[in-house]
Amino acid sequence: MSSGRSWKILCWNVRGLNATKKWNSIRDKIIDSRCDIICLQETKKQEFDYLFIKKICPASFNKFEFVPSNGASGGMLVAWKDSLFDGELVFHNSFAMSLEFTSRVNNAPGS
């Protein structure tokens, strides 16, 4: 994306999101990073909903897509700030996903 602004993306192998004691530290790291998009790998979760996203992400992250875990391994979550991006799921399978983002600031595409 060429908009004169740097978009910050946080990619992190969280090694599971099922332990409630991790949620605050994950949320704190997301806040500290001042990122615009997060990609969490090895979530080890089958399902995500908006209420859970609010437990681990600041309120500005209000859109997300995920790949469910395969039993106790795998899983991926991508969340983003809807105020900055439109996100569209382009590809999704059991092990990967691809999203295309369009900047709401200048309509510049990126993926």
Q: Where are the domains of the chain?
A: 9-83
3-state secondary structure of 98: strand
- Return the pLDDT at 72: 87
- Return the pLDDT at 1: 42
The answer to whether 35 and 79 have CB atoms below 8 angstroms apart is no
CA dihedral 84, 101, 75, 13 (to 10 degrees): -70
The annotation status of 65 as a binding-site residue, yes or no, is no
81 falls in which pLDDT band (50, 70, 90)?
very high
What's the rounded Cα separation, in Å, for the pair 66 and 46? 9
pLDDT digits 0-9 by tens, 3-32:
456 789 999 999 999 999 999 999 999 999
Q: What is the pTM of this model?
A: 0.90
Residue 96 has pLDDT above 90, yes or no: yes
The annotation status of 42 as a binding-site residue, yes or no, is yes
